[in-house]
Amino acid sequence: MAKPVIVLFTDFGFAGPYLGQVANVLAREAPDARVINLFADAPAQDPHAAAYLLPAYIHEFPTGTVFLCVVDPGVGSDRAAVVVSAGGRWYVGPDNGLFEHVMRRCAGEVRSWHMAWQPHDLSATFHGRDLFAPVAAELAYIEPESDLATDLAESGPALRFPDWPDDLAEVIYVDGFGNAMTGLRASALPADAALACAGRTLVRRRTFSDVAAGESFCYENANGLLEIAVNKGRADEMLGLRVRDRVEIIKQN
């Protein structure tokens, strides 16, 4: 039998104890699970932007995978904690819109539950460690179509943020190379679509070597998002791009 897989999608960053503390809980509660740190630098304190990034990266993981997702600026408030089953995978995290597009884009059944259970020692500011990690560890051993324990109350798959667009014409993530991912799915755009941002028109190309060194462009990245890049350079520095900067979809001549 394959080992269960737990995937971390957080904005914790790589410095400090936070990833290690969550990993420690998972090692204790799900000792044979494979824990994969997918993102530790998801858009910081921005579940709206993160909601467009997460669904681009889920499909390479097998059914039964548990995504432990923490982009949670409302931690300790009255925001709910949620478990979602969509496309044969589990999602655990805050009910703040983070799973909006996972649910919206799922072709199969979607179910969601609000967590009634809380540990005896629940800090006000670290639900990733104290609440979400133990629940994710338990889910790693449950089939997605199974009924959950009575300490989770089914809330239905209703979308929490129906006013959010299906695609977001903004930068949602800047990677270590300075490439700026947008919340636009390349497949949803015409083949001749280009982007305008930072006072420039960015033509759409297939790959980096299709433009000269130092030239900016846009392309469909390996996970289907339209991304802004500079061949042998950094788009964030050259174009001054940051997360939540707007882009405009235009037609190429």
Tokens of 247: 């882009």
pLDDT digits 0-9 by tens, 162-202: 899 999 999 999 999 999 999 999 999 998 899 999 999 99
Q: Are strands 89-94 and 66-70 parallel, antiparallel or unpaired?
A: parallel
* Domain topology for 5-154: Rossmann fold (3.40.50)
Task: Spell out the CATH class of 168-251.
Answer: mainly beta
Instruction: Give per-residue pLDDT as tens, 218-253.
Output: 999 999 999 999 999 999 999 999 999 999 999 765
121-130 long-range contacts, Cβ below 8 Å, gap at least 24?
A: 124/75, 124/76, 125/75, 125/76, 126/18, 126/21, 126/75, 127/70, 127/72, 127/75, 127/76, 127/81, 127/94, 128/10, 128/12, 128/18, 128/22, 128/68, 128/70, 128/72, 129/18, 129/21, 129/22, 129/25
Domain ranges of the chain: 5-154, 168-251
Mean pLDDT of 62-70: 96
What is the structure's pLDDT at 125? 97
Check if 5-154 and 168-251 are the same fold. Answer: no
Q: Does the reported pTM lie above 0.85?
A: yes
Using one digit for the tens of pLDDT, what is the confidence trace for 15-32?
999 999 999 999 999 999
Kind of pairing, strands 81-86 and 66-70? unpaired
DSSP state of 80: -
